[in-house]
């Protein structure tokens, strides 16, 4: 089962739980979802009306925590730790995994120094172990560790929940993409029409050439036939003349008798 299918099933499960609970009962749902080793998307849970109603209550910090896991990073948590619930080991791991995904959104070559700072990792060996065991094996990223250049080359990274400010940018990007696609489609259609017209011209030219060749062949055939007949008649006439001459030569001449 792939990552997206797993995500869809877990999200549906937590959304159903959140829809049936209210108030402090939702705290367990927030903690469990942010600790789950295979869940990396939280916007659907955030959209549940019962969860939204935590705003302004004594449990609103758990709504803030859920928002952090949807859009934030490990550095964001450290900057606001005094206003948020303490995290368990699974939550810390999850938030660091999400941090790698956030960094991969902006660049596909992640320097080791940046990663170690953002993840609070003290050495390269620990960082590489984290990237291999907790990110690549988990299926959220694919890439290559370049020890010589001290960087992680990202080939694939799972997407995170869109931040509210990103929605407009995403819509604009998709609009531009659709416009480019439409223009490309028109260009392709024009090229197809041009190719079809050239094909028709080529067929027409080929037909003209074939007709001309056929005319030449017919003309040559007629000429050859005419020449042959003329030559044959000339030979026949020559032969007839020879035969007449021979007949005249061998025909006995009548003797003339003197008149008395």
CA dist., res. 11 & res. 16, Å (int): 8
Q: Residue 219: its pLDDT value, please?
A: 80
Buried b (16+ CB within 10 A) or exposed e, 21-30: eeeeebbebb
The whole-model pTM stands at: 0.67
Domain count, the chain: 2
CA pair distance 14, 29, nearest whole angstrom: 7
Phi-psi region of 55 (alpha: psi -120 to 50; beta: other; left: phi over 0): beta
Judgement on whether residues 250 and 149 belong to the same structural domain of the protein: no
Q: In what order do the strands lie in the sheet with 109-111?
A: 109-111, 151-157, 141-146
Tell me, yes or no, whether 93 and 132 share the same domain.
yes
Placement of tokens 């934030």 in the chain: 72
Asked whether the beta carbons of 143 and 115 are under 8 A apart, the reply is no
Domain that holds residue 182: 162-260
72 with 26, same domain: the answer is yes
- From 109, 138, 161, the end of a domain falls on 161
127 and 168 co-located in one domain: no
One domain, residues 56 and 91:
yes
Write the pLDDT tens digit of every residue in 48-86: 999 999 999 999 999 999 999 999 999 999 999 999 999
pLDDT at 98: 98
pLDDT computed for residue 237 by the predictor: 60
CA angle 155, 68, 9 (to 5 degrees): 65
Same domain? For 172 and 240 the reply is yes
Q: Which pLDDT belongs to residue 163?
A: 77
125, 184: one domain: no
Residue 122: the pLDDT is 92
Distances (CA, A) of 40 to 33, 71, 152, 161, 172: 9, 10, 21, 8, 25
Domain boundary among 141, 161, 181: 161
Residues of the chain whose pLDDT is less than 50? 260
Q: Give the helix/strand (H/E) hosting 169.
A: helix 164-250
Q: In this structure, are 143 and 219 located in the same domain?
A: no
Q: Are residues 166 and 259 in the same domain?
A: yes
**Where a domain ends, among 111, 130, 161?**
161
What pLDDT does residue 221 have?
A: 73
pLDDT of residue 255: 55
Return the DSSP state at 132.
Answer: I
Are residue 151 and residue 190 in the same domain, yes or no?
A: no
- Identify whether residues 51 and 131 lie together within a single domain: yes
Start-to-end CA distance of the chain, whole Å, equals 144
C-alpha neighbours within 13 Å on the C-beta side of residue 180: 6
pLDDT for position 166 = 57
| pLDDT at residue 239, rounded to an integer | 53
Considering the domain architecture, whether residues 143 and 201 belong to the same structural domain is answered as no
- What are the tokens at 220? 């040559």
Residue 3: the pLDDT is 74
pLDDT at 247: 56
């Amino acid at each position: 089962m792939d990552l997206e299918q797993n995500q869809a099933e877990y999200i549906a499960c937590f959304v159903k739980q959140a829809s049936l609970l209210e108030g402090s009962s939702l705290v367990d749902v927030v903690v469990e979802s942010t600790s789950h080793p295979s869940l990396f998307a939280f916007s659907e849970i955030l959209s549940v009306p019962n969860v939204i109603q935590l705003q302004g209550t004594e449990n609103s910090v758990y709504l803030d925590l859920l928002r952090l896991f949807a859009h934030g990073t490990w550095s964001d948590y450290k900057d606001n730790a005094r206003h948020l619930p303490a995290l368990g080991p699974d939550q810390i791991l999850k938030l660091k995994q999400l941090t790698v995904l956030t960094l991969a959104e902006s660049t596909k070559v992640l320097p080791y120094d940046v990663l170690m700072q953002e993840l609070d990792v003290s050495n390269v060996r620990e960082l590489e172990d984290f990237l291999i065991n907790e990110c690549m094996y988990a299926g959220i990223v694919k890439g290559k560790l370049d020890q010589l250049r001290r960087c992680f080359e990202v080939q694939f990274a799972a997407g995170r929940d869109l931040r509210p400010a990103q929605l407009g940018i995403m819509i604009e990007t998709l609009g531009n993409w659709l416009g480019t696609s439409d223009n490309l489609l028109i260009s392709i259609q024009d090229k197809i029409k041009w190719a079809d017209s050239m094909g028709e011209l080529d067929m027409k030219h080929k037909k003209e050439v074939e007709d001309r060749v056929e005319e030449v062949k017919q003309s040559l055939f007629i000429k050859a036939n005419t020449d042959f007949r003329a030559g044959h008649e000339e030979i026949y006439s020559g032969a007839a003349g020879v035969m007449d001459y021979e007949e005249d030569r061998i025909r006995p001449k009548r003797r003339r008798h003197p008149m008395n």
